Amino acid sequence: MINELNGITPEEEQSIHKARKRIIEAIGKNMDLYGITLSTGLLYGLMFFQNKPMTLDEMGEAMEMSKTSMSTGIRTLMDLNMVNKVWEKGSRKDQYEVERDWHQTFTDFFAIKWRKAVEMNLQALKKSQVELRALADEHPNEETLQSYISLDMEKINQAIDYYLWLDRLIDTLESGEIFNLVPKKPDKGG
Amino acid sequence: MINELNGITPEEEQSIHKARKRIIEAIGKNMDLYGITLSTGLLYGLMFFQNKPMTLDEMGEAMEMSKTSMSTGIRTLMDLNMVNKVWEKGSRKDQYEVERDWHQTFTDFFAIKWRKAVEMNLQALKKSQVELRALADEHPNEETLQSYISLDMEKINQAIDYYLWLDRLIDTLESGEIFNLVPKKPDKGG
DNA sequence: TCGTATGTACAGAAAAAACTTTACGTTGTT
DNA sequence: AACAACGTAAAGTTTTTTCTGTACATACGA
């Protein structure tokens, strides 16, 4: 573990370290909700408590892992806008720091991952919808076929409605409108 | 693949199968957002197009997988309220069907998984917060220690604020209040 | 009460993912 | 222009996860 805690007693350092570790492990573990592996989650936790940007070498040393792993971990985190690359003058090494605005991180996650899923699913649903509609039109008098298709179509329509709603929810998150609906600071009083 | 499509031509059956398959694969793949494996996602997709509850044996045959795998997959889906067990009279076998209300499925996911993460993280944050506060109180005159602690405390406080917000957002989802804020049916007109 | 069907725990096999080492292309410095 | 440092691609290893087969506990029916 890289140690930037100087000028305090070992016991004090140990106490701080312990307090941090508890948080790092909790956060790291729960980042699987973001599709992030435990190791990368712990890396994120490490960076969270860092007071200045880190290089890949520093991360590797602190995590006791290879620089390559740090590189891939950082890329994962960057793809989710959870860490940012910082341009430090005079250093050839890339420097990274965590995005401190977690509300933003949360909404970005939806804007990135969930949006993509919604789009993919909507596309598949609509394409199949068109195909089934065409199939139904080709055989208007085949009762059995018509009933099968209409069962599937109803399911597809329900799914599309849901994804359109989800798309609007993601709009609300991405635009920040959500913070008008659910304020960052709780409403006072009753 | 279990075939409940009778009374239509093989070509028609093939067309329906193709339309379904596209959707099943899209949905199955994107269910990793729910922490669900591709296989289990495909199982879910299969059940989605089923018009009656399925038994584990039927699933195994349709998926060409062992019944044991179906059992574990179904349990995962049940834990997320994505499928329900149905009590069919006269059959000794358990029967399952997908939850058709996907809005509910979505909000349940947050109420189950995200809520748990929020609680775990808040607990860790608060416990460390207390510890650090105590440490600071023990050594009021150690300037270096105080500055270290106050840096950590600020990060912790920000994190707590975020999780409290997220907790309220999850409240909004779990209670269904979200559907007043972001209606299921889009607002008409401009 | 016994027998049989059913779901799942458990152990092992197969597949997938994570991690490391090595090698290489790129970039910035001398 | 040559060199050195850096980040990452690629290949191989280790670890983890998923999947299967077997065994077992439970519950229902005869």
Query: Does the predicted interface ipTM exceed a cut of 0.90?
Result: yes
**Percentage of residues in chain A with pLDDT exceeding 90?**
91
Torsions phi, psi for B93 (to 5 deg) = -80, 145
Q: Residue A35 — left, alpha, or beta (φ > 0 → left; ψ -120 to 50 → alpha)?
A: left
Q: What is the pLDDT of residues B5-23, one digit of tens each?
A: 888 999 999 999 999 999 9
Residue B172 predicted with pLDDT over 50: yes
Taking only the tens place, the pLDDT of each residue in A108-117 is 999 999 999 9
For residues B171 and B181, what is the distance between their CA atoms, to the nearest angstrom?
A: 13
Q: Which residue has the higher pLDDT, A147 or A91?
A: A147
Please report how many Cα atoms fall inside a 13 Å half-sphere around the Cα of residue B80, on the Cβ side: 26
Residues 79-98 of B with CB under 7 A from strand D: 92
Q: Which residue is nearest to nucleotide C27 (CA to C1')?
A: A92
Please say whether the beta carbons of A144 and B8 come within 8 A: yes
Work out the burial of residue A4: count CB atoms within 10 Å of its CB; fewer than 13 is exposed, 13-18 middle, 19 or more buried. exposed
Q: B42 vs chain A: nearest CA distance in angstroms?
A: 13
Rounded mean pLDDT of A116-124? 98
- In angstroms, the CA A32 to CA A38 distance is 7
Q: Which two tokens stand for residue B2?
A: 């279990």
Residues 82-101 of A with CB under 7 A from strand D: 92-94
Residue A185 is encoded by which pair of tokens? 């600071």
pLDDT for the residue numbered B55: 96
Q: Cβ of A5 and B30 within 8 Å? A: no
The chain B residue lying nearest A117, using CA atoms, is B30
**Given an 8 Å threshold on Cβ–Cβ distance, is A186 in contact with B168?**
yes
CA atoms of B12 and B9, how far apart (whole Å): 5
Of A127, A143, A162, nearest to B19 (Cα)? A127
Distances (CA, A) of B44 to A66, B61, B86: 38, 14, 15
The tally of CA atoms less than 13 A away on the side-chain side of residue B84 is: 10
CA–CA dist B113, B189 (Å, integer): 36
- What percentage of chain A reaches a pLDDT higher than 70? 97
A124 contacts on B by Cβ (under 8 Å): 22-23, 25-27
Question: Nearest CB to B135: which of A12, A152, A168?
Answer: A12
